[in-house]
Structure 1
Amino acid sequence: MSKGKLFIVPTPIGNLKDITLRALEALKEADIIAAEDTRQTLKLLNHYNIKKSLISYHMHNEEDRSGSIIERLNEGNIIALVSDAGTPGISDPGSVIISKCIEEKIPFEVLPGATAITTALVSSGMDTTKFLFRGFLPRENKDRKVIIEDLKSRTETLILYEAPHRLLNTLTFLRENLGSRKIALCRELTKLHEEVLRLTLEEAICHYEKVSPRGEYVLVIEGKTIEEIDREEKALWENMSIEEHIKSYMDQGYIKKEAIKMVARDRKMPKSEVYKYSLEV
């Protein structure tokens, strides 16, 4: 018996017209549709007049249900996997079953389609050449502290997801740890009440202290700027003499010649000028 095939099918993040022709084709051809929330998927299927057997596949049953899906695939079934919105596997169930398909050598196909990440990133107007997606931050302060320590020094544009009831708390946490960076708050993307607010973290906190957050949010935050990095680096040596500055680099293991070059770069001085101060070091 030949093996079946798994289709990873992105679904609209809001507007039902944003589904692709290939996604509709995969849903129609599937023997079974594995859905994060069968009620939510049923609305989509009814809209396109697609009648299929549905099974639930969500974060709480992903490990167990993956086994039974693999069995069905080995029996020759065509299965389409969908999440409530967007692409399965991106902050949604999907990565477990994909790993198992790779292990079992079961063919699968990932269809391109809607994802809130790229829609929000482009809408933000921030740097799109490099970005870092981190999904939802953990609920516990100690857990998210670990993550923010890594993120705070990154120069990439940062992308997070957040629920409305946690938004103000998360904005306050980000402000305390990142300073008042620029942020784009993207909510209800592609829906009737879509909104993109481009503010600083400080302004965003003030706004949502007066206005109740509604809908699911994508937070797009500017990465650490070159100016910010320069200020921090300058703070490390601005109270040092030039001799002390040279010695600090030598204490880190650099030879004197390299230390002189680095001090000249930091202070925007000619190397020949810095060299004069190195004679006594």
Structure 2
Amino acid sequence: MINETTDKLATLGHPQRLMVFRMLMRRYPDTVPAGELASELGIKPSTLSNYLNALQRAGLVRQERSGTSLLYSIEMTNVQHMLDFLLNDCCRGRPDICMPFSQGPETMPDRKYNVLFLCVGNSARSIFAESILRTLGEDRFNVYSAGTQPTSQLNPFAVQVLSDKGHDTSVLRSKHISEFAADGAPEMDFVFTVCNQAANEECPAWEGQPISGHWGMVDPVKATGTDAEKSLAFQNAYGALKRRIEAFTSLPVESLDRIALQTAVDDIGRTPVEDMK
């Protein structure tokens, strides 16, 4: 185990290989196209290929093919073995130096939970998610949304869809993520990204280690065509998020330990929305 861990740490000791690894960890359990990794990290494709090959040889990353595209994801079992060795063998699991990693599979406290949805513009998808969960789980969740690069106003198509669905839009506004990282901000129990770009970007460290999930989906704001075609794109985005949030609200949050809850959140993000009946 020492030799295996040494190989993995040596591979991660290169700054740009570590950048690739960190992005894939943030996107887990998604698979990410090589082209997207190169674009987001500003790395030449040929150089990125070398980094990914090294991460694969170390057993940290896996590759799969979809048509002509190469997709990459974290080899989580091997990563967990590496972390287990470092935390349980090297520091003997001592809580004074391994916290918070050695807290064990504790359950969430039985109270009203704080949930934050993130995207880039905070004008459509994260606003949809905020509104839907506020409606479906009002007695169980305090719900917020924000953007890494928020727009000055909400998208009018998004506002129209929410109004048509009976949501109160008067309480909604576009907000910057920094509002929820400032002193006095509510401590988040769950943080979800609903678009790929927000998952790729640097986000502030969240106090209390919230359960996090990535529920990436197509941005309806980028839809083209007639107003009817654009409206349909927003309707589809709303429907996809509603099915994921319905699955989330059905979870027995109070009785699941953190590991089981994180797995359930990952499964919701991994399941195609058309399979959520």
TM-score bracket relative to the smaller structure: under 0.3
Q: Which has the higher strand share?
A: 1
Question: What TM-score does the superposition give when structure 2 sets the normalisation length?
Answer: 0.27
